[in-house]
Amino acid sequence: MSERKLFGLTALFQTPDEIIHAAAKVHEAGYKKYDVHTPYPVHGMDAAMKLKPSNLGFVTLIFGLFGAAFALLFMYWAMSKDYPMIIGGKPFFALPAFIPITFEVTVLLATLATVIGMLTFYFKFPNNSQPLHDTPYMKAVSSDKYGVCIEANDELFDPEKVRNLFKELNGQNISEVYFPIVETFKIFEPKYLTLLVVVALLTSATTYLTLNKLLYITPFTWLMQQDRVNVQSRSTFYADGFGMRNPVEGTVARGFIPYEYKGLAAPVVPLSNPLMPSSEVLKLGKKRFLTFCSPCHGNYGDGDSRLRGQFPNPPSLHSEKVRGWQDGNIYHVITNGQNIMPSYASQLSRDERWAIIHYIRALQKAKNASPSEIIEAKKETSSNVAQ
């Protein structure tokens, strides 16, 4: 036991004046690894110990600036890049409206960084195993005494010299402080392992029950259970027992204007195609043609049905008759149906029907072009290819 390693020598003083004097003298004697312990910050001690002013402020500054920049840039990114939304007529980058949060984040980060930085990097806390803890010296200096401790790992440390210095300074209770005996524990002890298993089981069980059961009991229904009428559900409120309400008689749905020549042989007033034959329109027309028309009329409108034999063959779309038709006549047939062909009004929107007509016209042109037109078209499409 006598082989315990010495941490340092301590001495107690009664008044703040004495401790200031003692600190100054210890510093003058050239000791570097010494510390003064007082129950509260004693003014003038920094000068006596010749300590440089705290540079903690730089931590605050750096993290404060980081917080401000981070908050501002993040809001800029979120509100004007990631999900731009106009709110209250403000610009996407609404600087005045971003200031409150920028300020709060600055304060929050600066404060936390200052405190956490001070405790962990400056003080090396938490540290409850420091040799000074639990000594009579520490008990005295946290209450009403003022103490100096010179550590044994100081270059100039010599127990006799330090003792004499303390005596000279009129220090009391001069005493040695030793490093505590390090206690060791075995990890793989049956008792400890059992505890570990029990803790693991309890944690898993609690987590499972909380996440899967507890969080779903009433009222924690996560918005899934609501007192409202769902689509197609019964209602006792209305006389007809339906939850849904029918629209008022004669209601016309958006984009579904009724076709006024339904059942007639041909439109009374010639209809004209409202769409321009742009490449998008032709692409749409092709897509819809291949889906809805080609099973019977064939991929190129030749009347070579894939369902040949099961239905009477539909006429070719390249006949003189169809080529001579106005666009409105084809529209009428698609919308109204003809002979065995049903109406496609419910499958194809108005614009899709007109797009198909553009595509049919393109097919007709392709099948029945004159040689001069083919040369013209080739010139247009491959003008940069050497002939």
Partner 1 sequence: MNIDYSQELPVIERRITLAEIDQLIAKPLDEKPDRKFFIALSITLSLLLIGVISVSFLLFFGVGVWGLNQPVGWAFDITNFVFWVGIGHAGTLISAVLYLLRQKWRTGIARFAEAMTIFAVMCAGIFPIFHTGRPWLAGYLTPYPNQHGLWVNFTSPLVWDVFAVSTYFTVSLVFWYVGLIPDFGLLRDRTTSKLKKSIYSIFSLGWRNSHRNWMHYEKAYMLLAGFATPLVLSVHTIVSFDFAVSIIPGWHTTIFPPYFVAGAIFSGFAMVVTVLIFVRKVFDLQHIITLNHLEKMNKIILLTGSMVGYAYAMEFFIAWYSGNPFEQFVFINRAFGPYAWAYWIMVSCNVFIPQLFWFKKIRRTIPAMLVIVIFVNVGMWFERFVITVTSLHRDFLPSSWGYFVPSVFDLGTLVGSFGLFFTLVLLFTKTLPVVAISEIKAVAEGAQPSHNGGNH
186 binds partner 1 (CB under 8 A): no
Q: Residue 343 has what DSSP assignment?
A: -
Contact 25, 169 (CB under 8 A): yes
Q: Rounded to an integer, what distance in angstroms lies between the CA atom of residue 234 and that of residue 240?
A: 9
Cis upstream peptide for 219 (omega within 30°): yes
Nearer to partner 1, 97 or 345 (CB): 97
Within 10 A of 288 (CB to CB), how many other CB atoms are there? 21
CB of residue 358 to partner 1, shortest distance in Å: 37
- Which tokens hold the place of 314? 């539909």
Which bin fits 386, alpha (ψ -120 to 50), beta or left (φ > 0)? Answer: beta
Considering only residues 308-367, where is the footprint of partner 1 by CB under 8 A?
none
What is the SS3 assignment for 242?
A: strand
Candidates 65, 69, 73, 107: give the one binding partner 1 (CB under 8 A). 107
**Dihedral, CA of residue 288, residue 294, residue 298 and residue 300, to nearest 10:** 0
Site string for partner 1, 108-127 (x = CB under 8 A): x-xxx-xx--xx--xx-xxx
Give, as ranges, the residues between 47 and 86 that touch partner 1 (CB under 8 A): 49, 51, 53-54, 56-57, 60, 74-75, 78-79, 82-83, 85
x/- string (CB under 8 A) for partner 1, residues 201-240?
--------------x--xxx-xx-----------------
Taking Cα atoms as reference points, which of 295, 296, 286, 256 lies closest to residue 355? 286
Letters for 240-279 (x = contact with partner 1 by CB under 8 A, - = none) are: ----------------------------------------
Which one, 83 or 185, has the nearer CB to partner 1?
83
Site for partner 1 in 139-168 (CB under 8 A): 139, 141-144
Tokens standing for residue 243: 């939850």
**Rounded CA gap, 303 and 324, in Å?**
17
* Number of amino acids touching partner 1 (CB under 8 A): 75
Measured from the CB of residue 154, what is the shortest distance to partner 1 in angstroms?
Answer: 14
**From the list 6, 29, 68, 98, which residue makes contact with partner 1 (rule: CB under 8 A)?**
98
Nearer to partner 1, 92 or 238 (CB): 92
Question: Under rule CB under 8 A, which residues in 15-54 are in contact with partner 1?
Answer: 15-17, 19-21, 23, 35-46, 49, 51, 53-54
Instruction: Pick from 104, 158, 168, 376 the residue near partner 1 by CB under 8 A.
Output: 104
Tokens found for residue 108: 């929050």
161's tokens: 């010299």
